[in-house]
Amino acid sequence: MSVGQRLADEAARYASMGWMRGTSGNLSVVLQRDPLRLAVTASGLDKGELTESDHVEVDADGQPVSDGVPSAEAGLHARIAAVSGAGAVVHVHAMAPVLAAERWPGGVELCDLEMLKGFGRAAHDDLVTIPVIRNGQDMRVLGDAFERGYRADTPALIVARHGVYVWGDDLRQARHRLECLEWLLRFILESGRDPR
């Protein structure tokens, strides 16, 4: 299956979950490392209706190197891929991460929850802190904030009042991590308990 079709299929899945409403959210896949090139979903399109050709190739700064207009956040995707070594980055506007960041703006702590294993961490005695950064429109500024708080064992970043970025070796691993993280965040919000 082509990269474009994989991006379209994943975007349709997230749109059906209500995590990519309207034209929001974006996905990327690393095409090559040296120089860094990513395929990123195109800007301004309904993510539930993408076709195989609705993506743009971008460079390490998120600038297009093929026809089309990439997501405005392509630069942050590229920074995350460069720093983390991820093969895919997903960005959605699920409600739970945004609400969690509102409640815990210094970082969202998770511990002693079985679903942490699906996120790539231990189920017990492993304090996981999901970094939260302030929103903005300059992807270099957001990238710098991401890099300052980056931990190799925590494949996620919440942008306050915006959404969440999760990454993995490929789109499938990134999706599994995102689904688990969304469950974890919903649990701590809905249970009303301290995350620890």
Interatomic CA distance for residues 28 and 4, integer angstroms: 10
| pLDDT for residue 196 is more than 80 | no
The residue among 102, 131, 124, 108 whose CA lies nearest residue 184 is 108
Q: What is the mean pLDDT of residues 170-193?
A: 94
Domain ranges of the chain: 3-191
For the segment 48-86, what is each residue's pLDDT rounded down to a tens digit?
A: 999 999 999 999 999 999 999 998 899 999 999 999 999
Q: Given CATH 3.40.225.10, say whether it is the number of domain 3-191.
A: yes
Cα dihedral sign, 168-172-174-176: negative
Q: What is the mean pLDDT of residues 153-169?
A: 97
For the segment 82-131, what is each residue's pLDDT rounded down to a tens digit?
A: 999 999 999 999 999 999 999 999 999 999 999 999 988 989 899 999 99
How much is the pLDDT for 127?
94
How much is the pLDDT for 192?
82
